[in-house]
Structure 1
Amino acid sequence: MKIAVTSTSGKLGASIVRHLIDEIGKEQVIGIARTPEKATYLGVEIIKGDYNNKQDFDVALKGVDAVLLVSGMDEPQKRIIQHRNVIEAAKNNGVKKIVYTSIIGAEENNAFSPIVQTNRQTEKDIRNSGLKWVIGRNGIYIEPDLEYLDTYIKEGEIRNCASDGKCTYTSREELGYAYAKMLLEDKHNGNTYNLVGEGISQTELAESINKVYTTNLVYNSVSVKDYAIERKSDLGEFMGTIIAGIYEGIKNGANDVPSDFEKAAGRSHKSALEMVKTFKSMNTLF
């Protein structure tokens, strides 16, 4: 069985490849990347695949039994067409199964909603493709908070507009494990899963980080408006708007959803504390 994973130059795609290798070995896994040289370290065959170029995928998906489509990172309206390029190439090449990394979140009422809407459209496209399918709706990754830790330590705080809202954090490692199972096990076909962990507040996130890294972080909430201004100043209009929208969604409960992780992965999701410990063991920067 040959399985292809798109966006393997990214961290989620790479995690899925590593977990698939653990399950079925390197020979059965193909990585697809817009810049192949960025993914060769994974030790599997890497083929060029740009979401904007359907011809790339007509080549990359030849002889493939199942494909894992990692949601693109482009502007919302471009994503729908990009994802369709992969879906159409999968159909044309006789791929039997497609698994998609979607996201949880509110379809309206915050600045992240346009991203959620385009993911829902791709979900519809996949359900209507005629292929066997599984859809995972990813929770918010915990890793970006941990990768940002030096800044949090400098400032002595975690600051955003989530207020007391609960966020069901996951990690790329947890997702990689679940998606490998979803690709390989037929019992998941036709299911849409919320791939999330337990719901925790930002204060609880700070407490977990403090326990593992012996830091003294506190959580401070700011208004949605002030946080959006701050993020746009740091990250630019597009990414700043998205990040502020994510935390606004957390504040409003959009990310506190029931978890289907155990159904998908066959084991319970790691706690926030366990995810922080795993991250630290894999990234001994601090």
Structure 2
Amino acid sequence: MKYIVTGADGKLVGKVINGILRYVSGSDLILTTPDLKFVSPERWAFFRHIGATVLEANYDNSKQMEQTFSNGDRLYMISSIAIGETRQQQHKNAIDAAKKTGISHLTYTSFLGADRPEYTQYVLDDHRFTEKYLTNSGLKFNIMRNNLYLDNYLTDLPKLAFMSNNIWRTTAGEGKATFIPKDDSGDVAAALLYGKGSENTAYDVTGAIAYSEREICDFVSKKSGVELKYQPVSVEEYYKFMDSIHIPRDFSGDFSKAPFKLVSNDMVTNEGSVATGQMNINTTTVKDLTGNNPKTLEDIVYEYQPLWNSWIR
């Protein structure tokens, strides 16, 4: 049995790879990337060490994906970083290639709320499209609907605060969410890729503790030694702030001066969903599929604290 893991150059997929190695040997893995140049030297060394095969599989190149996918049996498909029609077409290409090459099972990373029509986050149209296309493809599948990543609230949001006079701006208000650590998301993905899930089933993937952003802001203040001010703002104020630091509203914008490759339409709607309580969903998916309880802020903060020193002003 050969297991294909797409997006092997990315951070989340690195955690998926660590997870699947609990079940299979590295020689059973086919790791793909849109471009081999995207893989860091450190990750190349790790891939060689575990004996994995590394191939290109660009979601814009159907023939290339067919050549790569024909070498495997079960496929983990990370969602594309694009948003909109481009992403939908890329996902369609990947699913079509999987079906054409006889992939026996596909695991897809979706987003919490894709099955709930009242959820209106910016990225959900793409995930709804992909879920429907996958469900109707005839492929056996699992879908994992991840909550917002807890890790991003120890990286992206602190970075914005440290570079903005230590003010943590958000439209999340006092809402709470069961943010999912990427370690746990990776472990769930690995379990589903290996075959531990129920066939043709979607899973909401959440943490076990509901945190407010104010609590996370206070946590980062304590751990960094820098007093951060938590400042709830309106949607209009949040857009204005992100415009001022060159974060584009959508992926057609200019990222040359942006602090990271995120778009404000995505951030605003995600934060709004925290404010309304939509992301405060409790599940036992992590425990059920991995046997472990979801990690907490304290469990993962060590990974990100060293980054803060370069952002503190």
- TM-score after normalising by structure 1: 0.89
CA contact (8 A) 1:209 1:273 kept: no
**Partners in 2 of 1:109 and 1:157 — Cα distance?**
31
SS state of the match for residue 257, structure 1?
Answer: coil
Alignment RMSD (CA, Å): 2.2
From 219, 235, 246, give the equivalent of 2:247: 235
SS state of the match for residue 293, structure 2?
Answer: coil
CA contact (8 A) 2:191 2:197 kept: no
1:21-50 deviation per Cα after TM superposition (whole angstroms, max 9, x unaligned)? 343121111111111132252413221111
From 163, 173, 176, give the equivalent of 1:166: 176
**Partners in 1 of 2:303 and 2:108 — Cα distance?**
25
From 137, 147, 152, give the equivalent of 2:161: 152
SS state of the match for residue 231, structure 2?
Answer: strand
**Partners in 1 of 2:247 and 2:129 — Cα distance?**
27
The residue type paired with residue 4 of structure 1 is I
**Partners in 2 of 1:212 and 1:203 — Cα distance?**
14
How far the C-alpha of 1:71 sits from its partner, in A, is 0.8
1:160-212 deviation per Cα after TM superposition (whole angstroms, max 9, x unaligned)? 11101112212222211111111113443222111111221111112332343
The residue type paired with residue 74 of structure 1 is A
CA distance change for structure 1 residues 241 and 265 in 2, over 3 Å: closer, same or farther? same
**Partners in 1 of 2:20 and 2:118 — Cα distance?**
37
Number of matched pairs: 283
Q: Which moved more, 1:193-202 or 1:266-275?
A: 266-275
**Partners in 1 of 2:94 and 2:160 — Cα distance?**
38
CA contact (8 A) 2:171 2:233 kept: yes
Partner residue, 2:256: none
SS state of the match for residue 188, structure 1?
Answer: coil
Partner residue, 2:30: 30
How far the C-alpha of 1:108 sits from its partner, in A, is 6.5
SS state of the match for residue 68, structure 1?
Answer: strand
Partner residue, 1:21: 21
The residue type paired with residue 264 of structure 2 is G
How far the C-alpha of 1:276 sits from its partner, in A, is 2.1
1:24-83 deviation per Cα after TM superposition (whole angstroms, max 9, x unaligned)? 121111111111132252413221111111111101101311101101111212222211
Partner residue, 1:4: 4
Q: Give unpaired runs (5+ residues) of structure 1.
A: none
SS state of the match for residue 123, structure 2?
Answer: helix
The residue type paired with residue 241 of structure 2 is E
CA distance change for structure 1 residues 172 and 186 in 2, over 3 Å: closer, same or farther? closer
Partner residue, 1:70: 78
CA contact (8 A) 1:208 1:276 kept: no
After TM superposition, list the pairs within 5 Å mapping 1:137-286 onto structure 2: 137-148=145-156, 149-153=158-162, 155-197=165-207, 198-233=209-244, 234-238=246-250, 239-259=263-283, 260-280=285-305, 283=306, 286=309
CA contact (8 A) 2:77 2:106 kept: yes
Sequence identity, in percent? Answer: 23
Q: Give unpaired runs (5+ residues) of structure 2.
A: 251-262
CA distance change for structure 1 residues 166 and 75 in 2, over 3 Å: closer, same or farther? same
**Partners in 2 of 1:215 and 1:47 — Cα distance?**
44
How far the C-alpha of 1:285 sits from its partner, in A, is 6.1
**Partners in 1 of 2:243 and 2:109 — Cα distance?**
26
CA distance change for structure 1 residues 75 and 3 in 2, over 3 Å: closer, same or farther? same
- Residue 146 of structure 2 corresponds to residue 122 of structure 1: no
SS state of the match for residue 4, structure 1?
Answer: strand
SS state of the match for residue 248, structure 1?
Answer: helix
- Residue 54 of structure 2 corresponds to residue 46 of structure 1: yes
CA distance change for structure 1 residues 152 and 267 in 2, over 3 Å: closer, same or farther? same
